Structure 1
Amino acid sequence: MTCFFHQFLTINNLIALLTIIIITIIFISILIRLTTDQYPRILIYKDERFYLDPISGEHHPLPQLGTIFLSKKHTVTYQDIQPSTHYLSVIVPAYNEQNRLPTMLDEAIDFLEQKSFKYEIIVVDDGSRDKTTQIALGYVQKYGTEKIRVITLVKNRGKGGAIRIGILAARGEYCLFADADGATKFSEFEKLNHFIQERRKSYKESIAQRSLFRTFLMWGFHFVVWLLTVKTVRDTQCGFKLFPRTVAQILFTHTHIERWAFDVELLLLAERLQLPIGEIPVEWTEIEGSKIVPVFSWIQMGIDVTLIFWNYTIGAYRYPKQPYEKIYGIIMQQPLL
């Protein structure tokens, strides 16, 4: 047996094996590059281009999604995006969040109602099977469609896909996406707003309260992210991010990943475009009912990060290029039967 392995593990055999592996990797990379859409194909169904006014019972077209895109133009450009009418748009992706959403919305509205600027909250129900939409529409009925709108997705997209549709329907000069669980106190918006206005350097600390096991998994994930993709941000997964509207539209119409690791691709694009990025400490508390499944979800995110790294490295995915004229691959569909 020892003699057999000695014969097999000769220098020539090892070189041949290594050559086969390299050729296989090159072949697979070429195949992926030739068969992968370099820019994302954004799927938006007809029913997702309107919001419901629960008081009148009427459906109204959403900005961009329900007006310009309904014109059936073959090419949509950033110049087509309508001017902002609000200071802040808050995008809240929600999947089966009937229990946690009210606490988050109550806190956000209490905070925003004290401000002098115009705001809107867009709840994007990501194909929930509970009463998430009905709960959110109760807030619309109380505060009106100028302040709160609900987009109910025909089909589950994942957190990144839900946020993208909310961003495209936003009217704010600035876009903030916030998790529906309320893990981050909404008053932390002041810190983000201060940075984005003053362009000051960010803090390096983070204030978080999460379980030891979850923290251990997060450290491992962050190491993989740092090694393969994003270098300037330590916690890429914080569900509380603020963007200027034009930047948000550029980034979210060029991301391919729609599920948990979408933040990584988002920040990778921002780094490549040399956009100012700041990371500041926010108060974050782990809330019961998380949709992330320990171990399994982190493995899936690790796979997604590896795919992001590989696809951009081989040119299967393309970075945005100035002047950012096209919103690539937006597809309008009729509702699913």
Structure 2
Amino acid sequence: MGRPPDERADGVVSVVLPAYNEADTIEHTVETTLRTLSSFLPAGSFEVIVAEDGCDDRTPELAEQMAAGDSRVRHFHSDDRLGRGGALEHAFAAADGDVLVYFDTDLATDMDHLEELVERVRSGESDVATGSRWMPGNVADRPAKRGVPSRGFNLLVRTFLQSSLRDHQCGFKAFSREVFDDLRGDVEDEHWFWDTEMLVRAQRAGYRVDEFPVRWTPKGDTKVDLVRDVFGMGSQILRTWWQLMVRPRITRRVSLAAGAVLTVLALLLMTQYLDFGAVVDEMRTADPVLVAVGTLVYVLSWPLRGIRYRDILAELGFHEKASFLTGAVFISQTGNLVFPARLGDFIRAYVVKARRGIPYPSGFASLAAERVFDLLTITTLAGIVLVGYTVTGQTAELARTVVGADGAGQVAVLVAGFVALVAILAVATIVASAQSDGNLAGSLVRRASSDSYAEFVAGIVEQFVGDLQAVAGTRRGFARVGVSSLVIWTLDVVTAMLVLAAFDPGLATVELVSVSFFAVSVGNLAKVLPLSPGGVGLYEGAFTLLVIGLTPVGYPVAIGAAVLDHAVKNLVTVVGGYGSMLGLNVSLTTAVEETREVRESRDGDPVELD
């Protein structure tokens, strides 16, 4: 290990070589590095550290031999893959120097530039120095498959993170000990984005960061890795942008104002799909007592949603109060009314992570588990009623109605059928895979990429799938969450039944109950595909088509009941969502106000994607 800070000698230069399976080149790289450093630094003023990162070839053996034979060489070994950033950080922390340098072991950057890199920081001219392949007049000749992604990445970093540098990825950098010690706790990435984040944060902290042109020659056949370059780098840019550019500007006043604005926006968006004038007219003819009772029944279902979410999280090892989780569900469902593609679900994952420290993989897995049980429940309800219709001979009439219909109603019913099939297959797959020791999803990621970041992503995917299996794969969890899901959706159906009854449709009780269960179930299945915010339009189409196809109720009453039922449910959601935003101080755009850094509390969890 390195000497304590107060024992480090001034002017010592530590060069770290991050190495993963470099048996063919590591000896040449170390020899070239020692020779180059000796040409401009006095003896005893530098060291070369081989940061060997969980290699499975002869690199550890060769590095140990070199360290034993030359006091200027040190070998840091890791049994596990730390990632390039993790290996660099651990090696720099233990290094003896107050000038910390690293470059790629393939020596793609001409070593004639090493003296300039070192002296820029050693002399105090710069706090951070980095080579650049993209400075005017010195653009590196790179293959398109490497150059195009590199240019795109650097453009995104300059645009989103307001960096003044042209090249953030060049593996040829030097840091002062002061910069490293000051920023290492803020840098969260442990992989390919680590040095980019160091450069960005150093600029934000007011340190002098300089880049200079270098001669660079591509070595090897490095391929563009979609897992790392698209998912990995992109997510890290967004995470850093949020932390540096967005979150510092969020105040309580801004958060509450944004929540109010977006709630109004939700109502305005609803007017694009619902004719509120027609809704008001229909409400005038409906029995207000039955509508009020239906509304109350729907309100009562919300605490049950919080209890169900509490039970799902409990299966994953997280124990939270149902009142907080009810608020989180309210907020996410309000977000789904505003944003397309069910983006409100992401808001819920963010809320539980920031407020309660539940890691993102577990947050998304809990949401997926909730969706799975929702789909299973409403598919089961629809299937039971459909069997009854088949026995009574009404299925043929229903089929003729659907085939003869057009517009939103027919589309909604077809979508519902597709979603029901997918739901059944998904539940069967999850339950079956819970009995297996393997993890197909993680294996597929590893097959798509052999990069170290792919291993990182695979770990997150495996935790996600494992958490999902933990809920759906045990009898106790399946039964408990399944029963609560059945009660929740039964209350949803009862709400619609009371609203339909308020229009005095002239239906017998059995007919009213059966058509309500079937219409609501199919309507909610149609809402699953994010074709419109909150599924507005699809729900009304399916509900109306099924009511007029299975009963003598006319179109005006059917559409009026569908619109009023969905409007009541959405308004309850919006009111509850805004109240929860006030109570938890959360807005839909920022997801959470003044969040603190939350680290995972469970040992063995992968690093979070913020």
- TM surpasses 0.5: yes
**Matching residue's letter, 1:239:** G
Contact 1:164 1:253 in 2 (8 A): no
**Structure 2 counterparts to residues 85-124 of structure 1, below 5 A:** 87-117=12-42, 118-124=45-51
1:269 paired to 2:195: no
Asked whether the 8 Å contact 1:94–1:123 carries over to 2, the reply is yes
Q: Give the alignment of 1:135-150 within 5 angstroms.
A: 135-144=62-71, 147-150=72-75
Residue 232 of structure 1, CA deviation: 1.3
- Aligned equivalents of 2:237 and 2:7: distance in 1? 33
Verify: 1:279 aligned to 2:205, yes or no. no
Distance of 1:250 and 1:198 partners within structure 2: 17
Aligned to 1:130: 57
- Residues 81 and 178 (structure 1 numbering): CA distance in 2 closer, same or farther, change over 3 Å? farther
Q: Distance in 2 between matches of 1:187 and 1:137?
A: 27
1:16 alignment counterpart? none
Contact 1:86–1:171, Cα closer than 8 Å, also in 2: no
TM-score where L is the length of structure 2? 0.37
Match of 2:242 in 1: 310
Q: Secondary structure at the match of 2:23?
A: coil
Q: Which amino acid aligns with 1:311?
A: Q
- Number of the residue aligned with 1:296: 227
Aligned to 2:125: 199
CA contact (8 A) 1:228 1:309 kept: yes
CA distance in 2, matches of 1:179, 1:230: 26
1:185 CA drift (Å) = 2.4
The question of whether the paired residues in 2 share the 8 Å contact of 1:96 and 1:129 is answered with yes
Partners of 1:63 and 1:170 within 8 A in 2: yes
> What amino acid is the match of 2:247?
I
Deviation for aligned residue 1:165: 0.5
Q: CA deviation at 1:258?
A: 0.7
What secondary structure, in the 3-state scheme, does the structure 2 residue paired with 1:123 have? strand
**CA separation of 1:309 and 1:183: change in aligned 2, threshold 3 A:** same
Contact 2:20–2:53 under 8 Å retained in 1? yes
121 and 153 in structure 1: CA distance in 2 versus 1, 3 angstrom threshold: same
Q: Which has the larger radius of gyration?
A: 2
How many Å separate the matches in 1 of 2:183 and 2:238? 19
Identity %: 27
Which residue number in structure 2 is paired with residue 238 of structure 1? 170
Equivalent residue number for residue 114 of structure 2: 189
1:103–1:275 Cα change, 3 Å: same
Q: Which moved more, 1:267-276 or 1:296-305?
A: 296-305
Corresponding residue for 1:172?
A: 97
Deviates more, 1:231-240 or 1:113-122: 113-122
Q: Which has the higher contact order (CA 8 A, sep 6+)?
A: 1
Give the secondary-structure state (helix, strand or coil) at the position aligned to 1:280.
strand
Following the alignment from structure 1 to structure 2, what is the Cα–Cα distance between the partners of residues 225 and 303?
12
| AA of the residue aligned to 2:18 | P
Q: 2:192 aligns with which of 256, 260, 263?
A: 260
SS of 1:260's equivalent in the other structure is coil
Distance 1:169 1:189, change over 3 A: same
After superposition, the C-alpha distances for 1:45-90 in whole angstroms (9 at most, x for unaligned) are: xxxxxxxxxxxxxxxxx125xxx6xxxxxxxxxxx56423662100
CA contact (8 A) 1:126 1:152 kept: yes
Looking at structure 2, the residues matched to 283 and 166 of structure 1 have their Cα atoms a distance apart, in angstroms, of: 26
Query: Are positions 1:225 and 2:157 aligned together?
Result: yes
Distance across 1 between alignment mates of 2:50 and 2:234: 28
CA 1:277–1:89: 2 relative to 1, 3 Å: same
The equivalent of 2:2 in structure 1 is 63
Where does the alignment leave 5 or more consecutive residues of structure 2 unmatched?
249-353, 355-598, 604-610
Change (3 A) 1:154 1:230: farther
- Asked if the contact 1:230–1:267 (Cα under 8 Å) also holds between the matched residues in 2, the reply is no
Shift of 1:183: 1.3
Query: Which structure: greater strand fraction?
Result: 1
TM score, norm. by length of structure 1: 0.65
Conservation of the 8 A alpha-carbon contact between 1:86 and 1:120: no
Letter in 2 for 1:234: R
CA distance in 2, matches of 1:103, 1:212: 29
> How many angstroms does 1:103 deviate by?
2.7
Deviation, structure 1 residue 162: 0.5
| TM-fit CA distance, 1:261 | 1.1
Contact 2:92 2:100 survives alignment (8 Å): yes
Q: Helix, strand or coil for the counterpart of 1:249?
A: helix
Deviation at residue 195 of structure 1 after TM alignment: 3.0
CA contact (8 A) 1:92 1:179 kept: yes
- Looking at structure 2, the residues matched to 106 and 195 of structure 1 have their Cα atoms a distance apart, in angstroms, of 23
In the alignment of these two chains, the number of paired residues is 240
Q: Which structure features the higher share of helix residues? A: 2
1:114 is displaced (CA, Å) by 2.7
Measure how far apart 1:211 and its partner are: 1.0
